[in-house]
Amino acid sequence: MNLFKIPFQHHMTQFQLIKKSKKSRARLSLLKTSHGDIEGPFFMPIATKGAIKNLTSEEVKSLKSQIILSNTYHLMLRPGTTVIKKAGGLHKFINWNSPILTDSGGFQAYSLGERVRNNLLTKEQKLSEVKFSEEGIEFYSEVDGKKIFLSPEKAVEIQIILGSDVIMVLDQCVALPCDYKKTKQAMELTTRWAKRSQEYLLKNKTKDQKLFCIVQGGTYKRLRLQSAKDLAKINFDGYAIGGLAVGEPRKKMLEVLDCVVPILPENKSHYLMGVGKPEEIVEAVKRGIDMFDCVIPTRNARHGTLYKFKVKSLKLKVDEKDFYEIIRITNSQFEFDLQPIDLNCDCYTCQNYSRAYLRHLFMTNESLGFRLVTIHNLAFYLGLMERIRKEIKEGVL
């Protein structure tokens, strides 16, 4: 019997702007969720299928990751919502008590479409097209080839069941280069889907689950502006920028941020999806972005590419892109190198293991190697965000 059950309050402050930099558009923020508050700018490690590859939830927590990202599309295929519902939601299922953001599946449709277009699928995989319509997206399961239909409502419904703290709207991401007309259609469809998503969520949610919309429009400034304006008229909990870092020059990406971020609601989260390299993250923070996610630290770890700060000083000279370096651990120069990846890193890997040992683990294909360097790369990315927050606090960035 819970007599003191507090009803969900829509009016509570969910996003707090702590500080605005005077040197750039960078900001310190606090995003409040029922699984805890998140200090921004922050980075979300990727747990597509409900796991940061090679790590336990406890390990990710001990790295001080404030939030992780999972994926609607992958989880609806396997294990399916029935299992997760029975487990009591995704948090309980994967033993992660902190916030979770779930991506909607729109990007997976785009990615699959690209693979079909470029003939990158293996013979066993079906060469079926991805079809976008007003109603939603039709594509085929990678698991058993079964036809799958994802509408904006369906995507939200699944994310409600997953229990994610931040729900992403279904969107249409276009492959670059893409002509103006097609880009415009995709952008407008994404906005209509965002409205439908919100209507569905407001009718069906029973607890604090935020909804983020997604700005589209390719590399056309006019379309990006229209997208941002249209979405800003609707009261979403956060504003994501999608469809970037998909092959366009970095300069283009920053130009889009320069024109879009200033017209997003100031008192809401700004999320740059899928980005990026360390220097890109810093540049985006300076343009007013609060949230990031990217596969780079975890995927590159598995491919033997490690990240290391070059300078001890907290000052990031990001314009010269010289504040970090890359180590390819399989290079023979590390065969006898008994020092840690980074002497100044306090991660579990650097405290206990040498480059020579990590190289040995990679050369012999021991899965422990993947675990240890994934831990380090995430420590690097999360440490980068910590430095960024500190520099904004100190008025440096």
Residue 186 vs 397, nearer CB to RNA: 186
Catalytic residue among 165, 290, 293, 342: 293
Residue 283 one-letter amino acid: E
Residue 23 vs 131, nearer CB to RNA: 131
Per-position DSSP letters for 233-244, written without gaps between them: TS--SEEEE-S-
Shortest Cβ 110–RNA spacing (Å):
6
DSSP three-state, residue 206: coil
Site for RNA contains 117 (CB under 7 A): no
Report how far apart, in Å, the C-alpha atoms of 157 and of each of 83, 104, 286 are: 15, 10, 35
Is 337 assigned a catalytic role?
Answer: no
Among 32, 205, 221, 250, binds RNA (CB under 7 A): 250
Residue 148 vs 345, nearer CB to RNA: 148
Strands (E), the chain: 15-20, 27-33, 36-40, 42-44, 68-71, 100-103, 131-132, 137-140, 147-150, 166-168, 210-215, 238-241, 269-272, 291-293, 305-309, 324-328
Among 40, 276, 288, 340, binds RNA (CB under 7 A): 276
Shortest Cβ 12–RNA spacing (Å):
26
Among 58, 92, 129, 143, binds RNA (CB under 7 A): 143
Report how far apart, in Å, the C-alpha atoms of 383 and of each of 24, 42, 276, 286 are: 21, 10, 15, 17
Q: Which window, 16-24, 217-225, 230-238, 301-309, contacts RNA (CB under 7 A)? A: 301-309
Among 110, 307, 309, 353, binds RNA (CB under 7 A): 110
Residue 309 pairs in a beta bridge with: 324
Q: How many CB atoms lie within 10 A of CB 312?
A: 7
Strand 210-215 to strand 166-168: parallel, antiparallel, or no bridges (unpaired)? Answer: parallel
Q: Which window, 23-31, 59-67, 115-123, 345-353, contacts RNA (CB under 7 A)? A: 115-123
Site for RNA contains 111 (CB under 7 A): yes
Residue 302 vs 387, nearer CB to RNA: 302
Among 63, 231, 260, 275, binds RNA (CB under 7 A): 275
Site for RNA contains 103 (CB under 7 A): yes
Q: Which window, 5-13, 244-252, 258-266, 349-357, contacts RNA (CB under 7 A)? A: 244-252
Residue 54 vs 191, nearer CB to RNA: 54
Decide: 8 and 208 in contact? Cβ < 8 Å: yes
CA distance 306 to 322: 15
DSSP-assigned letter for residue 168? E
Fill in the per-residue mask, 185 to 224: x = in contact with RNA (CB under 7 A), - = not in contact. -----------------------------x----------
Residue 248 vs 266, nearer CB to RNA: 248
Among 163, 217, 238, 304, binds RNA (CB under 7 A): 304
Among 332, 343, 346, 351, binds RNA (CB under 7 A): 332
User: Going by C-beta distance under 8 Å and a sequence separation of 6 or more, which residues neighbour residue 135?
Assistant: 151
Fill in the per-residue mask, 55 to 84: x = in contact with RNA (CB under 7 A), - = not in contact. --------------x-x--x----------
Shortest Cβ 333–RNA spacing (Å):
5
Decide: 20 and 272 in contact? Cβ < 8 Å: no
Tokens of 143: 């698991």
Among 100, 231, 240, 382, binds RNA (CB under 7 A): 240
User: Going by C-beta distance under 8 Å and a sequence separation of 6 or more, which residues neighbour residue 384?
Assistant: 43, 278, 281, 282, 324
Strand 147-150 to strand 137-140: parallel, antiparallel, or no bridges (unpaired)? Answer: antiparallel
Our measurement of the distance from residue 337's CA atom to the centroid of its chain's CA atoms, rounded to an integer in Å, reads 34
Catalytic residue among 103, 165, 230, 237: 103
Site for RNA contains 168 (CB under 7 A): yes
Report how far apart, in Å, the C-alpha atoms of 230 and of each of 151, 166, 188, 204, 265 are: 21, 21, 9, 24, 12
DSSP-assigned letter for residue 118? T
Is 293 assigned a catalytic role?
Answer: yes
Counting residues that bind RNA (by CB under 7 A) gives 61
Residues forming contacts to RNA in the complex (CB under 7 A) are: 46, 48, 52-54, 69, 71, 74, 103-104, 106-108, 110-112, 115-116, 121, 125, 139-143, 168, 171, 173, 214, 240, 242-243, 245-246, 250, 273-277, 280, 293-296, 298-300, 302-305, 328, 330-333, 363, 365, 367, 370
Task: Catalogue the active-site residues.
Answer: 103, 293
